[in-house]
Structure 1
Amino acid sequence: MSNVIRVRAGLLRETHPGERRVALTPDDVRRLSARMSIHFERSCGIGAGHADDAYIAAGAEPAEFAGMASSLDVFVSVRRPAATRIFPGTAVLIFLGSNAAPVAGLPAGQRPLHLDIARLSGVQGVKGADISSRQAAITGHAAILEAARQFGISHPMLMVDGSFVRPVKMAALGSDAASLQALATARRLGALTHGFGLGRDTQAKIERLGAKFLAMSSDLARLRQELSDPLSKMQLITTNVVIPGQTAPMLLDETMLSRLSPGTVIVDLAAESGGNCALMRVDETINVFGVRIIGSATLASHEAAEASRQFSDGLRNLLEHLIDADCALRLDPRDSMTAALMNEETALRRVSP
């Protein structure tokens, strides 16, 4: 059984503090305009360098949120819309989240359908649909550039009086796209890189980037003991060990932090999931024991223009897959992409226009 929705879409302005990305660029709005009617919130693309006039020229119509929420069917955004934004139960929200369940408090038939793009990670078959890995890679790249700013190093390969500046020792805890990109960027900037991960597949990925592989234990208490000595020799550490739907495990406790060299910079990429580092504060940079801990949840926004272009390209490909020749959004749970987007509850739900 297919769920069919005539497509009238709304491009939302991001409300999370510091978020500058936009879900669709004017170029992709233009390419989608033959299949769907698109309305946009004014100033939604300013942070990524896209003026309202560019969206209008691409065929989109400006609108206020209240009017959009009452008249449109599909809403797209980078982040999951804030709970304070009220949508009708027939609406479909497409965003990049963290595989979280829909907001509780309303019966299934009275709350919007949440299609979390994060669920597509690793799914094959649609060009550009794995948006989350693209955004993670940009986050890992931005993390290293932010750490370099914290160090006050404009270029780690700088030569002074004929000698290279001593290279920074960098470690990445995790083997996801963000951690691997962090290793790649740090190495390009001249750092001596070390990757902590599990299994032979992880080892191969890390060593292909020119980093030294260090195995991580699956036992958390043992892992902390194993990390204590090698991390004490590092000057830059990124962490991104997360478990979908759960609070991120604490990898660096206060005792371990106190043993790090003063001046060490930690970028906790798991900040939004609770963080891998003790004392971390989301969207803040703090200094404890002479160690700076960056808990930014908006690192991808440091590269807002490119991050938005990548997000928009993937989202356009996804929408082109879901929208048929009759300009209808078909949510058919027999389709592998749709099944990945929808959880068990929503897969059985029929949505009316």
Structure 2
Amino acid sequence: MSEPAHVRAGLLREAFPGERRVALTPGDIRRLSSRFGFLFEPGCGELAGHSDDDYARAGARAATPADVVRCDLVVSVRRPDRSIPSSAASLFLGSSVRGANASPDQSLELDLARLEGFADAAAMDAATIQATVLGHAAVLEGVRLMRAGHSMLTLEGSFVRPIRMAAIGVNTASLQAIATARKLGALTHVLGLNESDRAKVERLGAKFSAIDTAILAAGPKREQARRQLARQLASMQMIVTNLHESGSAAPVLIDEEALSSLPAGSVIIDLAAAHGGNCAFTRIDQTVTAHAVSIVGSTLLASNEAAEASRLFSDCVRRLLEHLVQPGEHLRLDREDPLLDHLKGRSDGENPRVS
């Protein structure tokens, strides 16, 4: 008979309205069963295609939310909306806004967003991997709102005009958006701040154009840069924008003048909505219309592909948990571990989970 796991982990059901993902799949819970004993909140995986019976067969036990949060480690996709005891640690994909001023009696927060771009944790970098889902979902949402056809198949006597699509910003989500749009037959353009990004954009088959960096600064030069960007975007029917610095508000790139110059029926998918948005008309988790253009401010696009997004998220979490706990051992969050240093993002004082 196998030894019982020393570490209890709890899997929460996502409470954020519209969130369909789950942080761990039954398959990964089964793989972790020699290291963890799992409690799960009933219904946690239902919207991602995993029943409570699937979790029970994987070795997890259904429990009340109050019992789940009393585990040694609480796992979720978004920051938990309920209080976690100070003796526990919570693992989620959020933002690093909270942390520097956190009080010692709060639970230890391990934010997967802090691993983004950390070379030693590429296999655990949930933020980057979810960004690929986000970029794909953004284009599909844009096409849905445009009610456009795709020029993937041309029959005799038929002609479908390809969509003219632009991505603003050169990052994982925007590059995935370009790759998806090209597969749908779109004419693709990328507008970026750094000329050094040209090669990676052109390898995807997209055209690269530079944005004047003055658009990020205050003063009259910013207005000139916005007018230049408006001219670059004037013929685009779909725009995916995702330009922001971590911890800072997103700059407004598309103002009313630029919006009014776009073709009627165009769609802007603002992936920077959670940071304020790159479009002056963006409203977080809303789709609004201005000047006959739809502006999507959803932070839930990855949830549109909940099953695949959850599988990828769970894979990252499993790899991280395998790093944190060896079979038969207790949960030890070593101060000397650079990966944990990134995850914590702060000094944790007397937290008993940090050894």
The answer to whether the superposition gives a TM-score over 0.5 is yes
Q: Quick check: 2:21–2:47 contact (8 Å CA) kept in 1?
A: yes
Query: For residue 168 of structure 1, what is the aligned residue in structure 2?
Result: 163
Greater shift in the superposed pair: 252-261 or 23-32: 252-261
Query: For residue 129 of structure 2, what is the aligned residue in structure 1?
Result: 134
Task: Check if 1:95 corresponds to 2:97.
Answer: no
CA distance in 1, matches of 2:207, 2:104: 52
Q: What's the secondary structure of 2:209's corresponding residue? A: strand
CA distance in 2, matches of 1:161, 1:233: 28
Write out per-residue CA displacement over residues 141-180 of structure 1, whole angstroms, 9 at most, x where no aligned residue: 0110111111112433353652331111100001111000
Q: Quick check: 1:127–1:317 contact (8 Å CA) kept in 2?
A: no
Write out per-residue CA displacement over residues 100-152 of structure 1, whole angstroms, 9 at most, x where no aligned residue: 22496xx6221111111011111123462111111001010011011111111
CA distance in 2, matches of 1:86, 1:18: 21
One-letter amino acid of the structure 1 residue matched with residue 15 of structure 2: T
Task: Check if 1:74 corresponds to 2:95.
Answer: no
Task: Check if 1:268 corresponds to 2:265.
Answer: no
Write out per-residue CA displacement over residues 313-334 of structure 1, whole angstroms, 9 at most, x where no aligned residue: 1110011011134432221232
CA distance in 2, matches of 1:334, 1:154: 54
Q: Quick check: 2:73–2:90 contact (8 Å CA) kept in 1?
A: yes
Instruction: List structure 1 segments (4+ residues) > 6 angstroms apart after TM superposition.
Output: none
Query: For residue 117 of structure 2, what is the aligned residue in structure 1?
Result: 122
Query: For residue 29 of structure 2, what is the aligned residue in structure 1?
Result: 29
CA distance in 1, matches of 2:194, 2:142: 28
For normalisation by structure 2, the TM-score amounts to 0.92
Task: Check if 1:211 corresponds to 2:213.
Answer: no
Query: For residue 352 of structure 2, what is the aligned residue in structure 1?
Result: 351
For normalisation by structure 1, the TM-score amounts to 0.92
Gaps of 5+ in 2: 1-5, 216-221
Matched residue count: 343
Matching of residues 14-53 of structure 1 within 5 Å: 14-53=14-53
Q: Quick check: 1:11–1:77 contact (8 Å CA) kept in 2?
A: yes
Query: For residue 187 of structure 2, what is the aligned residue in structure 1?
Result: 192
Matching of residues 236-255 of structure 1 within 5 Å: 236-255=238-257
Q: Quick check: 2:34–2:327 contact (8 Å CA) kept in 1?
A: no
Query: For residue 237 of structure 2, what is the aligned residue in structure 1?
Result: 235
CA distance in 1, matches of 2:16, 2:316: 21
Write out per-residue CA displacement over residues 45-84 of structure 1, whole angstroms, 9 at most, x where no aligned residue: 0010000000000000101111222x312111111112xx
Greater shift in the superposed pair: 191-200 or 27-36: 191-200
Tell me the percent identity: 50
Query: For residue 3 of structure 2, what is the aligned residue in structure 1?
Result: none
Q: Quick check: 1:42–1:52 contact (8 Å CA) kept in 2?
A: yes
Query: For residue 110 of structure 1, what is the aligned residue in structure 2?
Result: 105
Q: CA distance change for structure 1 residues 111 and 217 in 2, over 3 Å: closer, same or farther? A: same
One-letter amino acid of the structure 2 residue matched with residue 8 of structure 1: R
CA distance in 2, matches of 1:326, 1:108: 32
One-letter amino acid of the structure 2 residue matched with residue 177 of structure 1: T
